Amino acid sequence: MSRRSLQSLDPPRESFFGSLSSNCSMIAVALFVFAFIFQNFAIPSASMASTLLVGDHVIVDRAALAPETSWAPLHYRRVRRDDVIVFYKPVLEDNGERKILVKRVVGIPGDRIHLGNGVVYVNGVAQIEPFAAKPTFADYNPYIDEFPSLPPSDADGATAEWSVVMTQCVHDGDLVVPPDSYFVMGDNRQHSLDSRFWGFVPRANILGRPLLVYWSIETAELPDDAPLTERAAADCDEFLHFFTRTRWSRTFHIVR
């Protein structure tokens, strides 16, 4: 075989601009994945304990539960009972902020829901919920443990809008979930401001579902109205105590 024919078998070298174009394409794909499919969130409160703890940092899948589109060939599925979801709170905060929350789906459209002595009943069937904290005598609250037998006006933290909407959705002692809406609760049932206080989560408000905890650190729970300086101090404290307060056992913990 001639020297010329041997050289012709060598793979062609990629030009500088070809290599640059290839790398840029990979970067663009990575940015798309992290901007539109996955996102990270930090858990600020104990309302989902012990499924999610204060200081857990989670990766959220924003694609699976998103409204289906024709331009993105991604896998979609319906929101199911017991799904843990991340969503925009359906009511704005006093400062106009659109708060992001994480709770568990208890009721889907058409479900009839009520609680008796803290036990959740869906369509007349008592639910077995190993992930939920069980009510105790000391924590008993007639509004949240016998929901919806009492009006929201009897509950601290219930919104005025929910006081009107809830009465329209209660039939024969059950709260009926309307179309394109979901009833959600925190796993830490006695210490969670959820749908019992501000109502249903519209389908359009759902951002996604947390997949796993990629990092967790022991940190204090901050109030919702904590000033920016206090939040910045908390971030600095986490950085300084990264190695001593990280919960290494929760790394890559799957959220269920």
User: Greater confidence, 39 or 217?
Assistant: 217
pLDDT of residue 92 exceeding 90, the answer is: no
**156-172: pLDDT as tens digits:** 889 999 999 999 999 99
Cα distances from 202 to residues 18, 84, 130, 190, in angstroms, run: 47, 15, 26, 24
Span 222-226, mean pLDDT?
70
Q: Which residues pair with residue 212 across a beta bridge?
A: 59, 254
Residue 4 has pLDDT above 50, yes or no: no
pLDDT beyond 90 at 144? yes
Domain ranges of the chain: 38-254
> What average pLDDT does this structure show over 86-113?
93
CA distance 125 to 230: 45
pLDDT of 194 > 60? The answer is yes
| 199 pLDDT more than 90 | yes
- Over residues 201-220, mean pLDDT: 94
Higher pLDDT, 11 or 82: 82
Amino acid letter, 143: Y
pLDDT number for residue 104: 98
Contact 92, 38 (CB under 8 A): no
pLDDT tens across 35-69, in order? Answer: 557 788 899 899 999 999 999 999 999 888 866 65
Given this model, what pLDDT does residue 46 score? Answer: 93
Query: Do residues 217 and 66 lie in contact, with contact meaning Cβ atoms separated by under 8 Å?
Result: no
Phi, psi for residue 50 in degrees, rounded to 5: -100, 10
| Cβ count within 10 A of residue 43 | 22
pLDDT at 224: 65
Amino acid in the structure at residue 173: G
Chain mean pLDDT for the chain: 85
Taking 80 as the threshold, does the pLDDT of residue 229 lie above it? Answer: yes
- Over the stretch 11-31, which tens digit does the pLDDT of each residue have? 555 555 445 445 555 555 544
Q: Which residue has the higher pLDDT, 73 or 216?
A: 216
Cα gap 109→25, rounded to integer Å: 41
- Both tokens of 247, joined, read 């919960």
Q: What is the predicted pLDDT for the residue at 72? A: 52
Query: Can you give the pLDDT at residue 26?
Result: 56
Q: How confident is the model at residue 210 (pLDDT cuts 50, 70, 90)?
A: very high
pLDDT given for residue 3 in this prediction: 46
Q: Is the pLDDT of residue 8 over 50?
A: no
CATH of region 38-254, choose from 1.10.260.40, 2.10.109.10, 3.40.50.150, 3.40.50.280: 2.10.109.10
